[in-house]
């Protein structure tokens, strides 16, 4: 009877570790790469947005969010704010403005 309980405990532990490791790997794969990782913490992806606390030049921590799917190149920490160069579907044909930092799939019609 004791051997049976021991086997059940070992099997339960092994399955728990396997499930935990699988969950950790899948979450880590969703986090985009970039130099921001050197100076940001509590990094996660929520609803298509990269969310992190990033260090400012003064050493304070600032909450920052970036819609990263249309980023091209490095995602960086710019004084506590996540930034990247955004790719554009129609380069040079969309009006300039800060909306480009929080919008994606930008197009003009007409």
According to the 3-state scheme, what is the secondary structure of 44-88? EEECCEEEEEEECCCCCEEEEEEECCCEEEEEEEECCEEEEEECC
CA 110 to mean position of chain CA atoms: 35
CA distance 65 to 44: 10
Radius of gyration of the chain (CA): 21
Mean pLDDT across 15-41: 70
Residue with token string 């935990």: 20
- Record the pTM: 0.56
- Where does the pLDDT of residue 10 fall: very low under 50, low under 70, confident under 90, or very high at 90 and above? low
Residue 93: band (very low, low, confident or very high) from pLDDT cuts 50, 70, 90 = low
1: pLDDT strictly greater than 50: yes
Per-residue pLDDT for 44 more than 80?
Answer: yes
pLDDT band at 45, cuts 50/70/90? very high
Give the pLDDT confidence score for residue 108 in this predicted structure: 64
**Average pLDDT over the chain, rounded to whole?**
78
Q: Please tell me the predicted confidence (pLDDT) of residue 19.
A: 56
pLDDT-above-70 percentage for the chain: 65
C-alpha to C-alpha distances, 94 to 10, 59, 90, 100, nearest whole angstrom: 60, 36, 7, 9
Instruction: Give me the phi and psi of 12, to 5 degrees please.
Output: -60, -45
Q: What is the mean pLDDT of residues 34-56?
A: 94
- Exposed e or buried b per residue across 9-19, where buried means at least 16 C-beta atoms within 10 angstroms of its C-beta: eeeeeeeeeee
């Amino acid at each position: 009877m004791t051997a049976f309980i021991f086997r059940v405990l070992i099997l339960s532990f092994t399955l728990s570790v396997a499930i935990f490791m699988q969950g950790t790997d899948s979450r880590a794969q969703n986090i985009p790469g970039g130099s921001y990782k050197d100076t940001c913490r509590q990094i996660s992806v929520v609803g298509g947005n990269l969310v992190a606390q990033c260090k400012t030049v003064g050493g304070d921590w600032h909450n920052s969010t970036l819609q990263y799917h249309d980023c091209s190149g490095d995602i960086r920490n710019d004084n506590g704010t996540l930034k990247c160069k955004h790719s554009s579907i129609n380069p040079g044909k969309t009006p300039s403005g800060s909306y480009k930092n929080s919008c994606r799939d930008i197009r003009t019609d007409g």
